[in-house]
C-alpha cells in the first residue's frame, strides 16, 4: 500500500482536485488524506476510514403510477405493485418493467411509499419486500373516504444485489392519477 500523505492547510486555503474540478474552500485547520488504493466499488478509502466517491456512486429513484392499477396487471403469485413512470433513476438501479430496485453496493438506503386506493371500500395492506421478505407494511382501510393512502418509510441495511419492491398483501388496489409513488436512495455506502 502507498503511504498516506497528511497536510495541514491554513484557514481559507482553496484546494483544487487533480481533475481540475471546482475548488473547495476550507475553513479552519484541515487535514487532507491522500490514498490511491481504490476499492472494488469505485471508492477511494484511506486507512483512516475516509471515503471519497465519484459522481457515479449516486443512487436514487422515484417512480409513479399514472393510470389505474388494474387487477390484470398484477401476478396472482407475486402481487407486485407495478409503476409505469420513472421520475428519477440516478444510477439506473430501478427496473421499470419489474418495478424492482437492485442495490448496486452495500450501504444504508432510505425507502418510502405512498399507495392510494380510490373509491374502494376494501382495506389494503402494502408491504415493502426485501429479498422476498416483508420489512414494513402500511394499511388503508377507512370505508367512508373516497381516497386513502397506505404510506410508510424505512432505512435499510442492504448488501450488493439485494432487491426491494412493493407487494399488495391484502385488498384490491386502484392507484391512479400519479398519486401512488415509490422512492428510494442511497444514504451512505458501507
pLDDT for 2 equals: 45
Q: Looking at residue 136, what is its pLDDT?
A: 97
The confidence score (pLDDT) of residue 86 equals 96
pLDDT value of residue 10: 53
Domain map of the chain by residue range?
A: 5-55, 58-189
Q: What is the pLDDT of residue 164?
A: 99
Query: What is the reported pLDDT for 141?
Result: 73
Sheet harboring 133-140: ordered strands across?
94-95, 100-102, 163-170, 124-130, 133-140
- Over its length of 190 residues, how does the chain's per-residue pLDDT go in tens digits? 444 444 455 555 555 444 444 555 545 555 454 444 445 555 544 444 445 444 458 999 999 988 776 655 555 567 888 898 999 999 999 999 999 999 999 999 999 999 887 766 678 889 999 999 999 998 887 777 667 788 999 999 999 999 999 998 887 766 555 678 999 999 999 9
Per-residue model confidence (pLDDT) at position 171: 77
Beta strands in 30-118 (DSSP E): 30-34, 44-45, 51-52, 60-64, 85-90, 94-95, 100-102, 107-118
Query: Do residues 109 and 141 lie in contact, with contact meaning Cβ atoms separated by under 8 Å?
Result: no
pTM metric for this prediction: 0.67
pLDDT of 77 reads 64
Query: How is residue 101 written as a grid cell?
Result: 430496485
Domain 58-189 has CATH 2.60.120.40: yes
Amino acid at each position: 500500500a502507498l503511504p498516506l500523505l497528511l497536510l495541514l492547510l491554513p484557514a481559507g486555503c482553496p484546494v483544487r482536485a487533480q481533475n481540475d474540478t471546482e475548488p473547495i474552500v476550507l475553513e479552519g485547520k484541515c487535514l487532507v488524506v491522500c490514498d490511491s488504493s481504490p476499492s472494488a466499488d469505485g471508492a477511494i478509502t484511506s486507512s483512516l476510514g475516509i471515503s471519497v466517491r465519484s459522481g457515479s456512486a449516486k443512487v436514487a429513484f422515484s417512480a409513479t403510477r399514472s393510470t389505474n392499477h388494474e387487477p390484470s396487471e398484477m401476478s396472482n403469485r407475486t402481487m407486485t405493485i407495478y409503476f409505469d413512470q420513472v421520475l428519477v433513476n440516478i444510477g439506473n438501479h430501478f427496473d421499470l418493467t419489474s418495478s424492482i430496485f437492485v442495490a448496486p453496493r452495500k450501504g444504508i438506503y432510505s425507502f418510502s411509499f405512498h399507495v392510494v386506493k380510490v373509491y374502494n371500500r376494501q382495506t389494503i395492506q402494502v408491504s415493502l419486500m426485501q429479498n422476498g421478505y416483508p420489512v414494513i407494511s402500511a394499511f388503508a382501510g377507512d370505508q367512508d373516504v373516497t381516497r386513502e393512502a397506505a404510506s410508510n418509510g424505512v432505512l435499510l441495511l442492504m448488501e450488493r444485489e439485494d432487491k426491494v419492491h412493493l407487494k399488495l398483501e391484502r385488498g384490491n388496489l386502484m392507484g391512479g392519477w400519479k398519486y401512488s409513488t415509490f422512492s428510494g436512495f442511497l444514504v451512505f455506502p458501507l
